[in-house]
Structure 1
Amino acid sequence: MVERTRLVFRSNTNKFIAIASWCLLGLGVIAAFLTGSPRGLLGLVPIALIAFGIWELFWRPRVDVDDDGVTLVNQFHTIGIPWAKVVDVDTKWALTIVTPDRRYRASAAPAPGAVTRPNMTGAARTGRVSDGSIRKADAPGTDSGDAATIVRTRLQAMAEAGTLPIGEAATTRVTTRVHWLSIAALVVLAAASIAITYG
Structure 2
Amino acid sequence: MGPMAASSAGVQQFRPLFGRILSVGVWAVSAVVLVVVIVGSGWPAAVGALPWLLLLSGAVWASFWNPRVAVDVGGVHLVNVTRTIDVPWPALQAVDTKWALTLQTAYGTYTAWAAPAPGGVATARMTMREAKALPAASVDLARGIRPGDHPDSPSGAAALAVRRQWAELREAGHLDAPQLEHTRVPVRWHVLSLSIGGVLIALCVLTLLV
TM bin (shorter chain): 0.7 to 0.9
Written as runs of structure 1 = structure 2, the 5 A alignment for 1:1-199 is 5-35=10-40, 36-113=42-119, 116-119=121-124, 120=126, 121=128, 122-127=131-136, 128-130=138-140, 131=142, 133-164=144-175, 166-169=177-180, 173-199=184-210
Q: Is the 8 A contact 1:123 1:134 kept in 2?
A: no
The CA deviation string for residues 166-199 of structure 1, in whole angstroms up to 9 with x for no partner, is 3313766420122222222112111211221342
The aligned residue for residue 4 of structure 2 is none
Residues 165 and 198 of structure 1, relative CA distance in 2, 3 Å threshold: farther
Q: Which moved more, 1:46-55 or 1:150-159?
A: 150-159
Q: Is the 8 A contact 1:126 1:139 kept in 2?
A: no
Which amino acid is 2:32 matched to?
L
Paired positions, count: 196
TM-score scaled by length of structure 2? 0.84
Q: Which moved more, 1:63-72 or 1:181-190?
A: 181-190
Q: Is the 8 A contact 1:82 1:172 kept in 2?
A: no
Consecutive unaligned residues in structure 1, runs of 5 or more: none
Consecutive unaligned residues in structure 2, runs of 5 or more: 1-8
For 1:191 and 1:10, locate their aligned partners in 2 and report how far apart those are by CA, in whole Å: 30
TM-aligned CA deviation for residue 137 of structure 1 = 0.6
Which amino acid is 1:30 matched to?
V
| Higher-strand-fraction structure | 2
TM-aligned CA deviation for residue 62 of structure 1 = 0.6
Which amino acid is 1:124 matched to?
A
For 1:149 and 1:21, locate their aligned partners in 2 and report how far apart those are by CA, in whole Å: 31
TM-aligned CA deviation for residue 15 of structure 1 = 1.5
Residues 126 and 16 of structure 1, relative CA distance in 2, 3 Å threshold: farther
Please give the root-mean-square deviation of Cα atoms over the aligned residues, in Å: 2.2
The CA deviation string for residues 129-188 of structure 1, in whole angstroms up to 9 with x for no partner, is 233521001011111001101111111122222333633137664201222222221121
Q: Which moved more, 1:144-153 or 1:176-185?
A: 176-185
